[in-house]
């Protein structure tokens, strides 16, 4: 699906150089220059704004099928478009689990019907996310949804033999295994980062070693299988060091960091508010700083939102009973701008790399994360780097409103998104 003609007038491409016009026609970038005109084109005034390739999220929970009371593919697609995304990967922990081609093809088709972003289904690695039997990865990869990534996210594939077999199969199929790195025997009863804060508050501690031991193991398994492995939501300084080691060994390993792990730490737990419970947990400030540096130097490859909507009753309860997860799609860019751009850790071209180019490359999307150049697909995002706004959960597009950023004010906002040349967001409003 592509739109008619659109002129983006006076944008700063990658935040660099002089204001430039971009003419989009038939889903592609047709011309780049100054003073461009087109008869009946939709004109977007982009003065002072930054034009980037559309964002790609490797880690989104859209809850459909099964928990449409918290999110649907339609509402999640709207949230993604508002966040500047043109492609998202919907995790498999739905109900029923996306462990068959019937479910993965449904997710793809439904995303195309909605038409706001490309919703790529993630297939389960194991049947029912139970960690006992490999799912039919080849069938899902060959389906209409063309599944490119498999993950039991929410659960770790903790059996090393099963993980080894999954990596071997993935290598033959040319797909990616994304691991939720959590040794479950180390996190029994754990709800918060194991440290002074959890100890003082009487919360069950979640050690860094639960994550790091799986990262180390899977790096070695990927090496021996000649396969690629991707680490979901890296959260510790130790994981950063392990990634450096593995990449230094030539192991094909990549990793993502969430916006909330770039901004928040476990001091947030003082209120016992369930909105702050997430998996992996918010860590200490030293981990936050290590993750920021790792994203800036490429040790951590990209940003993945881990957008996880939950119903009010699943969050407004005892901290230990709250479901882990936070909304993330609409606030991701603003947080990356605050934590990475403002301190000088990334420039806007760097933002394009970690939010668009690198995730598209890792998962293998030939039409996403492309350069802003004539003849390229017009999957584009326009960001106002000086647009101050305050997060209000009920005003977000998601069905749920479990945002830990409630009432926080940020200084950058997506104002327009184009999917194959068709505006899906204009002036901060979804175009349906």
**Alpha-carbon torsion 61, 290, 356, 148, what sign?**
negative
How many domains does the chain fold into?
2
Strands 205-206 and 380-384: unpaired
- Asked if the model's pLDDT at residue 14 lies above 70, the reply is yes
Same domain as 399, residue 276: no
3-state DSSP assignment of residue 55:
strand
What's the confidence (pLDDT) of residue 38? Answer: 79
Choose the final residue of a domain: 340, 363, 386: 363
Same domain as 162, residue 34: no
Same domain as 322, residue 276: yes
Distances (CA, A) of 257 to 123, 245, 311, 354: 21, 18, 24, 10
- In a domain, residue 178? The reply is yes
Strand partners, 430: 425
Same domain as 304, residue 211: yes
Strand partners, 50: 12, 383
Same domain as 426, residue 334: no
Same domain as 92, residue 203: yes
Distances (CA, A) of 225 to 172, 362, 363, 396: 10, 18, 18, 43
Answer whether 302's CB lies under 8 Å from 230's CB. no
Task: State the Cα–Cα distance between residues 124 and 99, nearest whole angstrom.
Answer: 5
Answer whether 63's CB lies under 8 Å from 92's CB. no
- In a domain, residue 257? The reply is yes
- In a domain, residue 391? The reply is yes
What is the average per-residue pLDDT within 392-397?
97
Q: Which of 306, 314, 347, 367 is catalytic?
A: 306
Residue 146: other Cβ atoms inside 10 A = 15
Task: State the Cα–Cα distance between residues 69 and 60, nearest whole angstrom.
Answer: 16
Strand partners, 128: none
Choose the final residue of a domain: 363, 392, 409: 363
Task: Look up residue 14 and give its two tokens.
Answer: 């990658």
Choose the final residue of a domain: 310, 335, 363: 363
Same domain as 253, residue 144: yes
Same domain as 93, residue 216: yes
Q: Which of 37-51, 330-344, 363-377 has the lowest mean pLDDT?
A: 37-51
DSSP string, 17-47: SS-EEEEEETTEEEEEESS---TT-EEEE-T
- In a domain, residue 129? The reply is yes
pLDDT tens for each residue of 144-161: 999 999 999 999 999 999
- Asked if the model's pLDDT at residue 52 lies above 60, the reply is yes
Same domain as 210, residue 152: yes
Task: State the Cα–Cα distance between residues 96 and 64, nearest whole angstrom.
Answer: 9
Provide, rounded to the nearest whole percent, the portion of the chain with pLDDT above 90: 98
Domain of residue 307, CATH code? 3.20.20.140
What's the confidence (pLDDT) of residue 273? Answer: 97
Domain with 329, as residue range(s), is 54-363
Q: Is 113 exposed, middle or buried (0-12, 13-18, 19+ CB in 10 A)?
A: exposed
DSSP string, 85-133: EEEEEE-S-SSS-S-SHHHHHHHHHHHHHH-SSEEEEPBPSBGGG-SSS
Same domain as 329, residue 313: yes
What's the confidence (pLDDT) of residue 3? Answer: 52
pLDDT tens for each residue of 239-290: 999 999 999 999 999 999 999 999 999 999 999 999 999 999 999 999 999 9
Domain of residue 399, CATH code? 2.30.40.10
Q: In which band, very low, low, confident or very high, does the pLDDT at 91 lie, cut at 50, 70 and 90?
A: very high
- Asked if the model's pLDDT at residue 230 lies above 90, the reply is yes
What's the confidence (pLDDT) of residue 4? Answer: 80
159 is catalytic: no
Residue ranges of E strands in 229-323: 229-231, 253-257, 302-303
What is the average per-residue pLDDT within 311-325?
96
pLDDT tens for each residue of 180-194: 999 999 999 999 999
pTM of the predicted protein model: 0.97
3-state DSSP assignment of residue 371:
coil
Answer whether 205's CB lies under 8 Å from 195's CB. yes
What's the confidence (pLDDT) of residue 269? Answer: 97
Same domain as 142, residue 11: no
- Asked if the model's pLDDT at residue 2 lies above 80, the reply is no
- In a domain, residue 1? The reply is no
- In a domain, residue 352? The reply is yes
Same domain as 62, residue 30: no
- In a domain, residue 370? The reply is no
Q: Is 65 exposed, middle or buried (0-12, 13-18, 19+ CB in 10 A)?
A: middle
| R_g over Cα of the chain | 21
Q: In which band, very low, low, confident or very high, does the pLDDT at 1 lie, cut at 50, 70 and 90?
A: very low
Chain centroid to Cα 164, Å, comes to 25
- In a domain, residue 369? The reply is no
């Amino acid at each position: 699906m592509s739109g008619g003609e659109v002129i983006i007038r006076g944008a700063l491409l990658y935040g660099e150089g002089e204001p430039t016009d971009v003419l989009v026609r038939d889903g592609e970038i047709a011309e780049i220059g100054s003073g461009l005109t087109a008869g009946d084109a939709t004109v977007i005034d982009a003065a002072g704004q930054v034009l980037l390739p559309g964002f790609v999220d490797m880690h989104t929970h859209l809850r459909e099928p099964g928990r449409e009371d918290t999110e649907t593919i339609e509402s999640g697609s709207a949230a993604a478009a508002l966040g500047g995304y043109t492609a998202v990967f919907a995790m498999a922990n739905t109900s029923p689990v996306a462990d068959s081609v019937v479910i993965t093809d449904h997710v793809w088709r439904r995303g195309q019907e909605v038409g706001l972003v490309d919703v790529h289904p993630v297939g389960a690695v194991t049947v029912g996310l139970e960690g006992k039997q490999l799912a039919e990865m080849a069938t899902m990869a060959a389906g209409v949804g063309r599944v490119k990534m498999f993950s039991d996210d929410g659960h770790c594939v903790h059996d090393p033999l099963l993980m080894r077999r999954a990596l071997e199969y993935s290598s033959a199929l040319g797909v990616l295994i994304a691991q939720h790195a959590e040794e479950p025997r180390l996190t029994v009863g754990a709800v918060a980062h194991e440290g002074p804060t959890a100890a003082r508050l009487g919360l069950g501690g979640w050690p860094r070693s639960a994550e790091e031991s799986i990262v180390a193991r899977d790096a070695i398994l990927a090496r021996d299988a000649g396969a690629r492995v991707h680490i979901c939501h890296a959260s510790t300084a130790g994981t950063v060091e392990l990634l450096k080691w593995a990449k230094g060994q030539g192991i094909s390993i990549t990793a993502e960091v969430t916006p909330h792990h770039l901004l928040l730490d476990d001091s947030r737990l003082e209120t016992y508010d369930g909105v702050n419970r997430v998996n992996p947990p918010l860590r200490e400030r030293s981990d936050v700083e290590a993750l920021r540096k790792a994203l800036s130097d490429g040790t951590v490859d990209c940003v993945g939102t881990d957008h996880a909507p939950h119903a009010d009753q699943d969050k407004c309860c005892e901290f230990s009973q709250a479901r882990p997860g936070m909304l993330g799609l609409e606030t991701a860019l603003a947080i990356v701008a605050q934590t990475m751009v403002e301190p000088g850790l990334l420039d806007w071209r760097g933002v394009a790399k970690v939010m668009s180019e690198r995730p598209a490359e890792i998962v293998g999307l030939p039409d996403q994360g492309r350069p802003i150049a004539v003849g390229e697909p017009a999957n584009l995002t326009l960001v106002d780097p000086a647009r101050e706004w305050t997060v209000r959960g009920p005003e977000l597009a998601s069905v749920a409103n479990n945002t830990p950023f409630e009432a926080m004010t940020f200084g950058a906002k997506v104002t327009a998104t184009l999917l194959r040349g068709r505006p899906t967001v204009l002036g901060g409003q979804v175009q349906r």
